[in-house]
Amino acid sequence: MGLWTLPAGYLEENESPEEGARREAREEAQCDIVLDGLLAVYSIPRISQVQLMYRARLDREQFGAGAESLEVKLFDWDDIPWAEIAFPSAGWALQHHHQLGDGKIFAPFSNPPGQTGNYPQPG
């Protein structure tokens, strides 16, 4: 498909959400991350999911494509390929992260108003 997204996936048995976020980053982007807090909780009823999105930073400037990734890249804000973002929730998370700037204390975001995570219906 060639679309972009954030490292994400399902939890393993007996794994905390935070451990899962760190594991997915290692598996998909071959990097170690330091979590900076829960960014958002998104409800996606069409696929019966609740998605937890974390703010994180690289532990060190080392990353690469894991077995499940074709390419891994860091983008400047103005260079994000918005039309090539795979999932609505990945775009929401990027927007919410950008909205916070350097803010350290915040309540987690949720779905933007009126957004259910469904793709636009062909018209």
3-state secondary structure (DSSP) of residue 56:
strand
For residue 11, CA distances in Å to 16, 24, 32, 57, 98 come to 7, 9, 17, 20, 26
Higher pLDDT, 6 or 118: 6
The contacts of residue 94 (CB under 8 Å, 6+ apart) are 6, 80, 85
pLDDT at 104: 85
pLDDT at 42 over 80: yes
pLDDT at 105 over 70: yes
pLDDT at 1: 62
Mean pLDDT of the 76-86 span: 96
What mean pLDDT value characterizes the chain? 93
The answer to whether 17 and 8 have CB atoms below 8 angstroms apart is: no
pLDDT at 102 over 70: yes
Question: Please, which pLDDT band fits residue 118 given cuts at 50, 70 and 90?
Answer: confident
pLDDT at 43: 96
pTM of the model: 0.88
Q: Maximum Cα–Cα distance for the chain, whole Å?
A: 46
pLDDT at 53 over 60: yes
Pick the CATH number of 17-100 from 3.30.930.10, 3.90.79.10, 3.30.1360.20, 3.90.870.10: 3.90.79.10
pLDDT at 120 over 80: no
Mean pLDDT of the 68-87 span: 95
Higher pLDDT, 103 or 4: 4
**What is the phi/psi pair of residue 59, to 5°?**
-70, -35
The answer to whether 111 and 41 have CB atoms below 8 angstroms apart is: no
